[in-house]
A and B are shown apart, each in its own frame.
Chain A
Amino acid sequence: MDSMRTTGMVQELDTILRTSKRRDFLKLAAMGGMALFFPPVLTGCGSDVVTNPGDPEEFTMGSAAGPLNFVNAYAQLMLDFYSRMAGYSLYSPNSSFPISGMTQQERSLIGNLIDQKGGTFLSLSTLTPHNVRVSGSLLFHFETVDFTNRDSIMPLAATLEDLGVAAVNGLMTSSVKNSTDLALLAQIASNWARHAAMINDMNDIHANGVTGLRSSFVRTVNGQGLDAVTSASDALATIQPYFINTLSITGA
């Protein structure tokens, strides 16, 4: 596998998913109130990847798994993106941030985002039936992004964070099939909203200083105090360039 095309983080976590014993799956799923959402069909055993790495992926919004898979794919994109920002990969696990001009404080928080996007990915992967979940099949590329240049990478981080919130909001309002999945995505939506506010605030502080104007944390919120909502199709148009897989949405 070409290390330029993946950091290996997603594949590494996917390996954990595929090789963990059932007991470990249950342990994973039991954390943070997640057992409530644990579907009885999941056993955590057997082969589970139905699509080969890099193959096209279809998100069927008419199914219960479709919206969860889309959020899962988005989380994997963000995990790969922040892993590149931090300079982590399977192939050079000890490398440090190639980006210049990031404080230690900021690096620490990007590490937290790697944790939390990975948490979303792993959680949704264990909660989605193994024969339909998006995991281990997604590959990413960021040829247009200069990971040594803060001015290249941080505006993109803000765009992807804000769009992720809007996309999850959109899936909550028009795609989820039951109130249980709605509650699950709500748990992710506000966590990602916190991430989005943080990245935007980092950009404000970088531009204006910590005591200067810091307004971007709500830059997607309208005059009624309502945050953005976007369809999965619209979100896909923005994020497709970073996927090697051709992604598609049906039944939106």
Chain B
Amino acid sequence: MHASTLQASSTDVAAALTVALKFKYAQQAFYTQGYTTFNATSGTSSDKFTAAEDNAVKIIRDQETAQIAVLASAIGAGAPSAPAPSSYDWTGGSGAGNGPFDQSMISRGEFFKVAQILEDTGVRAIKGQIPALFATPELTTLVQIHSTEGRHAAMVRMLRSPGGPSYDTTPPWPGYGSFAIQEIIGWDIPGTPALSGQSQIDIMTLAYGPLTPAAHYGEDPPKSPGEDNLIQSSSFYANKYVNSTNDYTPPYAIAFDEPMDATRALTVAAFFGVS
């Protein structure tokens, strides 16, 4: 029997689900604090959510809470308990409290940038754990959480476009190459300077791949995509119908969300105090 068809041990299953649970704990704490800060009626910040943002953040927060219960139950006695809210660092400062997103609980625009990082990385982190659950009873739960996470990630991205979903600002999916980074920190690279050693770009580079990716896309012969599987790719539509080039470069990579292994996902999360 091929190794990939063997069922995972209960230890492996618990480890996979725990990666997801760590992201869920962090997201739940993030949205809870964010909602208290920015909610449309009684938010403590002068910057208030619109009705659309208020409702969406509340929905996402409540679904994170519900997923925590499901995951903790599936893991059982070995499930880690919820970290104290104060253990997180929403500035992205690895606990120092003075990271490059130091306005994330002051300005709701910055809040949604961090939300996007947590959601996009959450999708990839969960995806990275799914294969380990092949042929286990817990697979269905993680699959269901995974596509919910995709919906959350898309919605956060759409909320960041003032006029609704837009290809030109933050499309519902990560753009290719440096676009994925620019979608978060804006189009005026190099963006916000580092406050505590890590810049927003440094964090983005771990979450989305390098700002200037290796140009293996479309090369002949193609280099191994194993160089960096985070890079999204190009467009058939644009070439055929906008540029009229008859270049059938297909949008392979952008049609596939990339997985991220636990080590890298938790390295990204560690900027925000996840341990």
Chain A residues in 8 Å Cβ range of B258: 32-33, 187
- Interface contact B69-A211, CB-CB below 8 Å: no
Selected contact of B63 from candidates A169, A179, A225, A228, CB within 8 Å: A225
Question: Bound complex: CA of A141 vs CA of B113, how far in Å?
Answer: 42
Question: What is the bound-complex CA distance between A179 and B174, given in angstroms?
Answer: 25
Contacts of B251 on A, CB cut-off 8 Å? 115-116, 118-119
Residues of A in contact, count (CB < 8 Å): 74
Cβ–Cβ < 8 Å partners of B232 in chain A: 32
Cα–Cα distance between A214 and B157 once the two chains are bound (Å): 13
A34 touches B147 (CB 8 A): no
In chain B, residues 208-262, which have Cβ atoms closer than 8 Å to a Cβ of chain A?
216-218, 220-226, 229, 231-233, 235-238, 241-242, 248, 250-259
Q: 1/0 per position for A122-150, CB-CB distance to B under 8 A?
A: 11000000000000000000000000000
The one of B69, B146, B233, B242 in contact with A186, judged by C-beta atoms closer than 8 angstroms, is B146
For the complex, give the distance between the alpha carbons of A111 and B239 in Å. 11
Given known A201-B164, A225-B70, contact A179–B134 (CB-CB < 8 A): yes
CB-CB < 8 A to A111: which residues of B?
167, 237-238, 241-242
Q: Which residues of B are found within 8 Å of A30, using beta-carbon distances?
A: 216, 222-225
Q: Which residues from chain A contact B252 at a C-beta distance below 8 Å?
A: 28, 31-32, 34, 119, 122-123
A112 touches B55 (CB 8 A): no
Pairwise interchain contact A32-B253, C-beta atoms closer than 8 A:
yes
Would you list which residues of chain A between 154 and 208 have a CB under 8 Å from chain B? 165, 168-169, 172-173, 176-180, 182-183, 186-198, 201-202, 205
Q: Which residues of B contact A217 (CB under 8 A)?
A: 56, 151, 154-155, 158
The answer to whether B250 and A179 touch across the interface, beta carbons within 8 angstroms, is no
* B45 → A minimal CB distance (Å): 18
B76 at the interface (CB under 8 A from A): no
Among B51, B225, B237, the residue within 8 A (CB) of A115 is: B237
Check A239 for interface membership: any CB of B closer than 8 A.
no
A12 CB, min distance to chain B CBs, angstroms: 9
A31 & B222 in contact (Cβ 8 Å cutoff): yes
Query: Quick check: is A35 within 8 A (CB to CB) of the other chain?
Result: yes
Is the beta-carbon distance between A197 and B172 smaller than 8 angstroms?
yes
Instruction: Assess whether B235 is in contact with A215, with CB atoms less than 8 Å apart.
Output: no
Task: Choose from A23, A31, A88, A168 the contact partner of B233 (Cβ within 8 Å).
Answer: A31
Known contacts A105-B166, A183-B131, A197-B158, then 16 further A-B pairs from the complex at CB < 8 Å, ordered by chain A residue? A30-B225, A35-B225, A36-B226, A105-B164, A105-B167, A122-B250, A169-B143, A169-B147, A179-B5, A186-B146, A187-B258, A188-B256, A193-B150, A194-B173, A194-B257, A212-B51
A-B interface, 7 closest residue pairs, ranked by CB to CB distance from nearest: A32-B253, A119-B255, A193-B150, A190-B150, A30-B222, A226-B144, A225-B63
A–B complex contacts, Cβ < 8 Å, 8 sampled: A28-B250, A30-B222, A115-B238, A182-B139, A198-B165, A201-B154, A213-B51, A227-B151
| B residues lining the A interface (CB < 8 Å) | 2, 4-5, 50-52, 55-56, 59-60, 62-67, 69-70, 123, 127, 130-132, 134, 139-141, 143-155, 158, 162-168, 171-173, 216-218, 220-226, 229, 231-233, 235-238, 241-242, 248, 250-259
